A and B are shown apart, each in its own frame.
Chain A
Amino acid sequence: MDAVIEVNNIKKRYKKRKTKDIIHAVNNISFTVKRGEILGLLGPNGAGKTTTIKMICGLLTPDEGSIIINGMNITDHRLKALHHISAVLEGNRNLYWRLTVKENLEYFAGNRGVSRKKAASLINDLLEKFKLKDKENELVNRLSRGMQQKLAIAISMLAESDVILLDEPTLGLDVETGYEVREILKSIVQDYNRTIIISSHDMDVIQDICERTVIINQGTIVTDDKIENLLKLFEIRSYTITLGNAISTKQKELLTQKFSHHIYTSDSYVTTLEIDLARSEHIYDLFNILKLEATPVESIDRKTIDFEQVFMKIIKGERSNAIAQPS
């Protein structure tokens, strides 16, 4: 298998400094990422995204489980494995604010053992690509938040590593810069064929950039699937049905028995039934109930549902029977 990143049953506990409470920040998470794949790690605040990413990039040792990068166990062969990884962590302070844009790039290259001469052309390319060329001699503390973030991403590209991890890359950016950063990330995927994990609590970002998402909540994986499939999954099973006339009490009773999630509205103009099906074949049960009184069906619409709603439903544990298995 050409899995570049293999995460096997990792766990991480923290001890709270004051109360000494144990927090299970990451509790038995497993997934794999294939070469050239771009995975979205999605979850609300405190879900364990940062903790997971820091374990993958070797900044945190898992309490249990293992992480394999290109066949190397990151705990056992940390420095070797680090040749294949670079990361942009949350926040904009992971740069030297007293150095210029270019000096930051040169310094970080130097700390990976690369000479200034050798890095020069790559640095120049990155400055152009990230539209930072005209700021190359600007001190980092004078840059906007968005430019700092672009620089941080550029620095992670310096290593030319197979794997790039990005923790909340659009956090704290205004809409426009957030969009620009997204475009940059997309072009990295297209032009450089890197294996990428992006974490975010913003489903919009993930849906825009990633093909597949692992959704985590309270330290465990809730879903691991293609975004497309997740959307389909919920789409297929939510219908809005317009009826020719109101339904009988008997029908109502049967509906309530069969379908826990339905909304029935009827007035003098229109009668509609919104229904969520736990399994797609349940639609036949619905038809049987309607058939009882020969209720006319005027239209059947598949409700469109966006990723945000999917995400909220999954997080709330709604329809846990509908949770997809890794494909």
Chain B
Amino acid sequence: MQLLNLLNANIRKNYIEMKRYLPNTIALLLTFYIIFLAMFAGIQIIGDPNTQDMNIQYVIVNYIFWYLAMIVVNDIGWQISNEASQGTFEQLSMSPMGVWRIMTARLIASTFVNILIIIGLLLLSMATTGQWLNLDVITLFPILILTLISMFGLGLIIAGLTVVFKQIQAFLQILQFILAALVFVPLSVAPFLAFFPIVKGVDLVRSVMIDEITLNQIGTGDFMILIVNAVVYFIVGLGFFNFCERVAMNKGLLAHY
């Protein structure tokens, strides 16, 4: 119950801030919508008529995941960096819930809000262009959840680094490209990437949406990789974050001095 209240408070904050900065939010949504439309329009304009559907769908899936990864992983870094310099991070650190729970709640909250937005815009774009992607919800759902959990693990690692190093803006800029690489590089090119966070999940999502593979066609091996990734990255992320918090408490790094 306490955890639900925590999650609720963070979703609400996210929502309030989006509403309060409506022009920003609208600009963001509009950009997103236009990019979607452009990609969908691409189906008609460019490429080989036989494969263009696939290419475009491929790009759309990549783009969505990249955006999500940025929101989830990169944004937590910016938040902590800002809040530590203001002093609210210390307030959070005094919650008996533990900061890691608050950070996880924030990761879930921003994912939740943004997935709703993405789904809305995706449907809107499909309605506008009349191009309907294969959205096999039952198959996509477990893949998405597991992929997101590994993403949260990555988010906690970034959060931990920010707690200790604070000025990691430059690193966060680079991280955008690393995330892009993880999302855009196909697994067939570099099979070892399957053990990196996100990559396997995106690959499976592409198979579902483009090759129309269903849940029972996905091998147990593939699912195992997803599950292991999710568990390992999340646990490592948590452990690392808590370690960083302890370092910060020892060295007096929870606030700017």
Contact = CB atoms under 8 A, between A and B. Distances in A.
A111 B252 contact: no
Contact of B252 (A60, A89, A97, A155): A60
B9 A109 contact: yes
Contacts of A107: 9, 12-13
Could you tell me the dominant secondary structure of chain B's interface residues? helix
Contact of A79 (B3, B5, B98, B250): B98
Contacts, number: 101
Nearest to A109: B9
A57 B87 contact: no
A274 interface: no
Contacts of B6: 110-111, 113
A83 B94 contact: no
Contacts of B102: 111
A142 to B, nearest CB: 13
B9 A59 contact: no
A98 B17 contact: yes
Interface string B232-257: 00000000000000100111101100
Contacts of B87: 89, 91, 93-94
Interface in A5-44: 12, 14-15
B94 A58 contact: yes
A108 interface: yes
A115 B86 CA distance: 25
B188 to A, nearest CB: 44
A216 to B, nearest CB: 18
B135 interface: no
A79 B96 contact: yes
B8 interface: yes
A35 to B, nearest CB: 20
B88 A111 contact: no
A108 B91 contact: yes
Q: Interface extent on A, as a size class?
A: 35 or more
B242 to A, nearest CB: 11
B9 A111 contact: yes
Contacts of B216: none
B5 A110 contact: yes
A94 B86 contact: yes
A14 B94 contact: no
Contacts of B1: 113, 115
B108 interface: no
Interface in B77-98: 86-88, 90-98
Interface in A106-122: 106-116
Contact of A99 (B10, B13, B252): B13
A113 B2 contact: yes
Contact of A82 (B2, B3, B17, B94): B94
Contacts of A112: 95-97
Contact of B94 (A12, A86, A95): A86
A221 interface: no
Interface string A49-74: 00100100111110000000000000
Contacts of A109: 9
A51 B251 CA distance: 11
A58 B91 CA distance: 11
Contacts of A98: 17, 20-21
A103 interface: yes
A107 B88 CA distance: 12
Interface in B43-74: none
A82 B249 CA distance: 15
B224 to A, nearest CB: 34
A14 B16 CA distance: 39
B97 A113 contact: yes
Contact of B250 (A61, A85, A93, A97): A61
Interface-centre pick from B88, B98, B250 (highest chain A CB count, 10 A): B88
Nearest to B85: A93
Minimum-distance CB pairs A-B, first 8? A110-B9, A113-B2, A94-B87, A82-B96, A93-B86, A115-B5, A83-B96, A93-B87
Interface of B: 1-3, 5-6, 8-10, 12-13, 16-17, 20-21, 86-88, 90-98, 102, 246, 249-252, 254-255
